[in-house]
């Protein structure tokens, strides 16, 4: 956990101008390390989605800098940016994640195909990615034959297939019940334990608690953070009586 | 601990008699923690012994003694506002009492009390979740083929797989703690929204009367009391 995969430096994002200007982000700095899962919490309208979109190159900051794997996203043209996103960054949204006419394996393989990999190879990689997450049984199913939680876990597999190591997840458990939501978080946690990095927006404290660190946003400003965790060995000493 | 600090928090507003302190404490915390006068005087005695309060003057004609904070007492109260309640070592209701007092005592930044607490509780929640992650691995409710033996922390034998029932019981205990920590965070979110609605953005509350001569009930501000009651009943 020493290499920062994502770096935000003094990022501001203002929508509109003059009297209509909305300062969605104001001077936000944040690093996400390799293998780290960071959760972002905050009231509605505090800038969480804006933060995620800027970090993932879907939106550009008004000032400040977003760097992924050492590449300053602001220095890239539209085409290069699209390529960086395809190769390094995966997104998981609240819903509408998977393409309905493709099977799970085809959905997961899609980013690889878009990046020029041959369909057969892409499909094989996709199956492996599903397998690692315990989703092998779902490979040939279509989204409408999967539960919401299963779809979201497949979406995480897709977000992190191939060379991608950074996943942005915006309320990925939003439409799910508590147990199903938790399965999604466990999958995300596992991928980060295996070396990926994640930035997760959630309203649920119990879900944010799967992250290494929680950052609180209010009115576009980071107001607090939990800091990084201690080792599990120390935790047992203070755990509830066993 | 909370009775001591609760009384001291009230004394931060000005000297008070024991009886007045008792009434003020009960009213402002919505009766969450009923006190008898004996408890109040015992506590004041201990605080005096510890140098945190002192007698504000000689007894009045009816023999009642008014107490006030010492500098050390004032510092202890400031520290209490600044630091989160430790869920492991304090009684459940301390946080409720603390927030109720923070709302009524002048000059306390309630939003920051709530935020500090939320961060601390989330940290606690995260620690519990990591323990839970291990417990799940031990039980074998693992995800994928590589289950417990590639995580580095789950498969080292510490969990002693001999007794699955015990592992399951442990998991349930952890989850109970997780749900109550989550409830606390949700309540704190709600408190924050409620305070914002009531126009209590981070700034010092206006200075209120000093209770030097309080002999009767210390008046309770109706809107604040009302908000304590509504938030208290929230799931
Ligand atoms: N395209 C836009 N044009 C103008 N204002 C915008 C735009 N997108 C977002 N905003 C504003 O920026 C602020 C932050 O929005 P954002 O979507 O990041 O909030 P959020 O924290 O994700 O909220 P929620 O929890 O409701 O999803 C809000 O005030 C929002 O109205
Ligand atoms: Mg949003």
CATH number at residue A11: 3.40.50.300
pLDDT of B218 over the 50 cut: no
**Beta strands, E only, chain B:** 16-17, 53-55, 66-69
Q: Is A47 in the pocket of ligand 1 (CB under 6 A)?
A: yes
Mean pLDDT, chain B, rounded, equals 74
Domain range for residue A189?
Answer: 4-98+165-238
Could you tell me if A115 and A162 are in contact, meaning their C-beta atoms sit under 8 angstroms apart? yes
pLDDT (average), residues A198-226: 92
Least confident segment among A182-186, A206-210, B81-85, B155-159: B155-159
A107 located within any domain: no
Please give the residue that has the higher pLDDT: either A96 or B130: B130
- Answer whether residue B206 shows pLDDT above 60: no
Q: Which of A8-17, B8-17, B23-32, B45-54 has the lowest mean pLDDT?
A: B23-32
The percent of chain A in helix, strand and coil, each rounded to the nearest 5, is: 40, 25, 35
pLDDT confidence of B60, banded at 50, 70, 90? confident
From atom 3 of ligand 1, which residue's Cα is the shortest distance away? A15
Is B133's CB within 8 Å of A189's CB?
A: yes
Q: Which residue from A20, A23, A24 has its CB within 8 A of the most atoms of ligand 1, so it is best to mutate?
A: A24
Residue B180 near residue B187, CB atoms below 8 Å: no
pLDDT at B162: 58
Q: What is the pTM of this model?
A: 0.76
> Count of CB contacts below 8 A, A vs B?
94
DSSP label at B72?
H
Tokens read off for B145: 């083929």
- Report which of A165, A170, A193, A178 is spatially closest to residue A41, judged by C-alpha positions: A170
pLDDT at A8: 96
Residue B110: CB atoms within 10 A of its CB come to: 23
Across the range B141-151, mean pLDDT stands at 46
pLDDT value, residue A36 = 94
Long-range pairs of B140-144 with CB within 8 A, sequence gap ≥ 24: B142/A134, B143/A133, B143/A134, B143/A183, B143/A186, B143/A187, B143/A190, B144/A131, B144/A132, B144/A133, B144/A134, B144/A135, B144/A190
Average pLDDT over residues B120-149: 75
What was the pLDDT predicted at B85?
82
B187 close to A (CB below 8 A): no
- Answer for the pair A92, A168: CB distance below 8 angstroms, yes or no: yes
Q: What is the mean pLDDT of residues A107-111?
A: 92
The whole-number average pLDDT for the span A16-27 is: 90
User: What is the average pLDDT value for chain A, to the nearest integer?
Assistant: 88
B142 vs B37, residue with greater confidence: B37
Asked if the model's pLDDT at residue A235 lies above 70, the reply is no
Please give the pLDDT value at position B92: 63
pLDDT at B49: 93
Q: Is the CB of A25 under 6 A from ligand 1?
A: no
Percent of chain B at pLDDT > 70 equals 71
Give me the mean pLDDT over the B155-168 stretch: 59
Q: How many Cβ atoms from other residues are within 10 Å of residue A64's Cβ? A: 18
Taking residues A118-134, report their average pLDDT: 89
Which residue has its alpha carbon closest to ligand 1 atom 12?
A24
C-alpha to C-alpha distances, B188 to A146, A166, B113, B158, nearest whole angstrom: 36, 31, 10, 36
Range scoring the smallest mean pLDDT among A77-86, B98-107, B145-154: B145-154
Domain count, chain A: 1
Assess if residue A136 is contained within a domain: no
Say if ligand 1 is within 6 A of residue A16 CB: yes
Nearest by CB to B144, which of A133, A208, A230? A133
pLDDT at site A178: 77
pLDDT for B235 equals 36
Six-digit token string for B56: 């504000």
- Asked whether residue A104 is domain-assigned, the answer is no
Tell me: pLDDT of B208 over 80.
no
What pLDDT, on a 0 to 100 scale, did the predictor assign at position A168? 92
Does residue A215 belong to any structural domain of this protein?
yes
CA nearest B144 in A: which residue?
A: A134
Q: Whose CA is nearest to atom 5 of ligand 1?
A: A15
Burial class (CB within 10 angstroms; exposed 0-12, middle 13-18, buried 19+) of A128: middle
Residue A53, pLDDT score: 93
For residues A105-113, give the mean pLDDT: 92
pLDDT of residue B64: 86
Contact A154, A108 (CB under 8 A): yes
CA A115 – CA A168 distance, rounded (Å): 19
Class of domain B1-82: mainly alpha
Phi, psi of A208 (to 5 degrees): -60, -25
What backbone phi and psi angles, to 5 degrees, belong to A144? -70, -5
């Amino acid at each position: 956990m020493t290499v920062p995969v994502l770096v935000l430096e003094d990022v501001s994002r203002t929508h509109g101008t003059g009297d209509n200007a909305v300062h969605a982000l104001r001077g936000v700095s944040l690093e996400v390390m390799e293998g780290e899962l960071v959760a972002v919490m905050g009231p509605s309208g505090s800038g969480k989605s804006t933060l995620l979109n800027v970090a993932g190159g879907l939106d550009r900051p008004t000032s400040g800098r977003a760097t992924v794997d050492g590449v300053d996203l602001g220095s890239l043209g539209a085409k290069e940016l699209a390529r960086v996103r395809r190769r390094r960054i995966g997104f998981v949204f609240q819903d509408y994640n998977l393409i309905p006419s493709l099977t799970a394996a085809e959905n997961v393989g899609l980013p690889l195909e878009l990046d020029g990999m041959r369909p057969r190879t892409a499909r094989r990689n996709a199956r492996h990615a599903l397998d690692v997450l315990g989703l092998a049984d779902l490979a040939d199913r279509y989204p409408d034959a999967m539960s919401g939680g299963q779809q979201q876990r497949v979406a995480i597999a897709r977000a992190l297939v191939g060379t991608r190591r950074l996943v942005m997840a915006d309320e990925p458990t939003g439409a799910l019940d508590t147990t199903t939501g938790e399965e999604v978080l466990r999958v995300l946690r596992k991928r980060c334990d295996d070396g990926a990095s994640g930035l997760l927006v959630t309203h649920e404290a119990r879900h944010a608690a799967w992250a290494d660190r929680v950052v609180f946003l209010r009115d576009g400003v980071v107001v607090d953070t939990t800091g990084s965790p201690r080792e599990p060995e120390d935790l047992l000493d203070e755990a509830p009586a066993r | 601990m909370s009775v001591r600090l609760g009384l001291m928090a009230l004394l931060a507003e000005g000297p008070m008699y024991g009886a007045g302190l008792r009434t003020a404490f009960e009213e402002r915390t919505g009766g969450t923690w009923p006190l008898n006068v004996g408890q109040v005087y015992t506590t004041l005695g201990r605080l005096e012994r510890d140098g945190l309060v002192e007698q504000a003057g000689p007894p009045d004609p009816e023999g009642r003694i008014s107490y006030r904070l010492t500098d050390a007492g004032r510092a202890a109260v400031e520290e209490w506002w600044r630091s989160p309640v430790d869920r492991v070592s304090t009684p459940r209701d301390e946080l409720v009492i603390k927030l109720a007092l923070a709302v009524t005592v002048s000059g306390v930044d309630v939003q920051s009390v709530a935020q500090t607490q939320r961060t601390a509780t989330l940290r606690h929640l995260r620690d519990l979740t990591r323990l839970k992650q291990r417990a799940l691995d031990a039980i074998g409710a693992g995800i994928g083929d590589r289950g417990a033996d590639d995580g580095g922390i789950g498969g080292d034998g510490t969990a002693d797989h001999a007794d699955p029932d015990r592992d399951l019981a442990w998991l349930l205990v952890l989850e109970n703690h997780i749900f109550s920590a989550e409830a606390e965070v949700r309540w704190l979110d709600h408190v924050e929204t409620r305070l914002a609605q009531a126009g209590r953005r981070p700034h010092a509350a206006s200075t209120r009367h000093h209770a030097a001569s309080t002999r009767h009930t210390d008046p309770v501000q109706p809107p604040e009391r009302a908000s304590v009651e509504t938030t208290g009943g929230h799931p």
